[in-house]
Amino acid sequence: MNDLHTLLGDPVTDPEEDAYVVFSLELPSQSLGFIDPQAAEIEVSIGGRDLTIRQSHGLLTSDRKQGTTGAVVWKVTPLVASWLSSPNFLSKCGFLSPLSIAIELGAGVSGIVALTLAPQIHRYIATDQDYVLRLLKQNITDNSPVTNTKKPKTKKKTSRSLPLEKDSIETLELDWELNSVSSLPIQLGLHENAGVDLVIACDCIYNESLIEPLTNTCAQICKLRSHEEQVKPTICLVAQQLRSHDVFEAWLKCFNKYFHVWQVPDALLTAPLRENCGFIVHVGVVR
């Protein structure tokens, strides 16, 4: 905790005031925040890796009542992936290392954060609802050098590929409204009180009714780790596009109820995630 205080400064103590300050800034217009919802595939290059991500426009525009937003790639996701795969304060403080375990909530179909961060850590668990998992697994397989048997499109692509252990990315069905995380240690084979090092949520805050289930799920996962003084706490990282003042304020109030919260300052972020870019990143340590 002391390392976080030193790097991040004062935590959020007044969510209403913080939300007011954030939305008093001039924010760029980015509509909903999809990269290109019409495209069958998205090409991105992150951290020395060229990725081809398949999307499902048909699923996005379907009338599925449980949600369809995970069917395409959101703008903030590759930005966060790029930042996390480069030197950052989490690695400096020891929350990301070759021994670390990370779990992502609402990963969507892309697997972009998983594919870029997994080569640097021990295990990465990407979770979402069942309807997402088939395409998520396909994107992970198609973009993993170990499992991809197709001929590369260019020599450049193979020369920039980084090694990825076959089993370092796992997928798991997790619905914040329906599933308990109490069985996660058994499902993931975690040692008692070990938990995970990092919980990641990228652009999962867009529907006010999902704020409480999402935040509660984050908190429950963080509480899987022992609170002994010598054990580093689990860090919860939440990155989002700024769209609605009311939804953002409601989330920040809820997150602050469960977590000690810091907004990550510009000095610790890469340029596309800094102030006035329309995105914001917070970290939390469960209370």
Taking only the tens place, the pLDDT of each residue in 108-158 is 999 999 999 999 999 999 999 998 999 999 999 999 875 444 444 444 443
Span 110-119, pLDDT tens digits: 999 999 999 9
Top-confidence residue, 78 or 59: 78
Looking at residue 34, its pLDDT comes to 77
pTM: 0.88
Span 8-61, pLDDT tens digits: 999 999 999 999 999 998 887 766 677 888 899 999 999 888 999 999 866 665
Secondary structure letter of residue 210 according to DSSP: G
CB 68 within 8 A of CB 61: yes
Q: Does residue 178 register a pLDDT over 70? A: yes
Q: Average pLDDT, stretch 183-190?
A: 86
Dihedral (CA of 264, 267, 268, 270) sign = positive
Looking at residue 166, its pLDDT comes to 44
> CA–CA distance from 2 to each of 129, 171, 172, 229, 284 (Å)?
36, 33, 33, 12, 13
Mean pLDDT, the chain, as a whole number?
86
Q: Does residue 203 register a pLDDT over 80? A: yes
> CA–CA distance from 163 to each of 77, 116, 241 (Å)?
21, 11, 31
Q: Average pLDDT, stretch 179-204?
A: 89
Q: Which residues contact 91 (CB under 8 A, 6 or more apart)?
A: 97
Percentage of residues in the chain with pLDDT exceeding 70? 85
Looking at residue 228, its pLDDT comes to 72
| CB environment 271-285: b (16+ within 10 A), e (fewer) | eebbeebbbbbbbbb
Distance, CA of 82 to CA of 272 (rounded, Å): 10
The CATH number of 2-286 is 3.40.50.150
Matching residue, tokens 């030197």: 87
